[in-house]
Structure formats: C-alpha cells, structure tokens
C-alpha cells in the first residue's frame, strides 16, 4: 500500500491540525491568561499562510510547514507532561502534528516537480 502524494492530503492534514487546535484552545480548554481568540490566532499564524500554497503543490511550503510542525508536536508534548487535565486534547494534537509532518514529507519526496 502506498500513500498517494497528493497536495490535498498534505493540506488536509494541516487543516485538521489547525481545526483541532482551534477547538482545543478556543472552545474546550481556553488558556487562563490569554483571550481564546488570540490563542487560536497565535496557534494558526505559523501554518495558515502555507495552506493555499500546499494545495497548489508547492514543495517549499511543505518543507517549512513540516519544520513548523516540530514545534506543534513539542507544544503538545509539553502540555501532556505539564497539564494533566488536557491530556486527551494534547495527545490528539501530538498525533495530528506527527501525521501532518509525515504528509508534508511525503509531498516533498514524492510530489510533483513544482518547487516554488
């Protein structure tokens, strides 16, 4: 079984992660000291600009968004360790960030020849 190198899979994985973070930080467990809308905007800021470019098949955007995904997975691991009430939210965010990184790498390695 092979994973198809479709830009839709890579872009969809980012949208899924951003939607989960929006639910987590905006609705379910908003931060105590930051307004929920600001927390969601801060979480979306690194990846949201890359989404249209990734759906077009731009491998450079997939490259830097996969590097940004490392910070999302680090954030999720820190929340897993430091904040027991949100372990379910953080564990799903961690899995989605790993999935997103993997989909970006598949797109970079096996995607179309468009690079920028």
Contact by Cβ (8 Å): 106, 3: yes
- The whole-model pTM stands at 0.85
Domain map of the chain by residue range? 7-110
44-90 pLDDT, tens digit per residue, is: 999 999 999 998 888 898 899 999 999 999 999 999 999 999 999 99
Determine the average pLDDT of the residues in 22-46: 88
* Residues of the chain above pLDDT 90, percent: 52
Measured CA to CA in angstroms, residue 80 lies from 24, 75, 77 at distances of: 13, 9, 5
């Amino acid at each position: 079984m092979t994973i198809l190198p479709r830009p839709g899979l890579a872009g969809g994985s980012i949208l899924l992660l951003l939607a989960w973070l929006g639910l987590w930080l905006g609705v379910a467990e908003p931060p105590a000291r930051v307004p929920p809308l600001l927390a969601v905007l801060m979480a979306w800021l690194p990846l949201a600009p890359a989404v249209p470019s990734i759906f077009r098949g731009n491998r450079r955007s997939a490259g830097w968004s996969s590097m940004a995904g490392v910070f999302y997975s680090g954030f999720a691991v820190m929340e897993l360790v430091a904040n027991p009430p949100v372990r379910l939210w953080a564990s799903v965010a961690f899995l989605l960030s790993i999935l997103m990184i993997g989909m970006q790498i598949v797109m970079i390695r096996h995607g179309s020849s468009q690079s920028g």
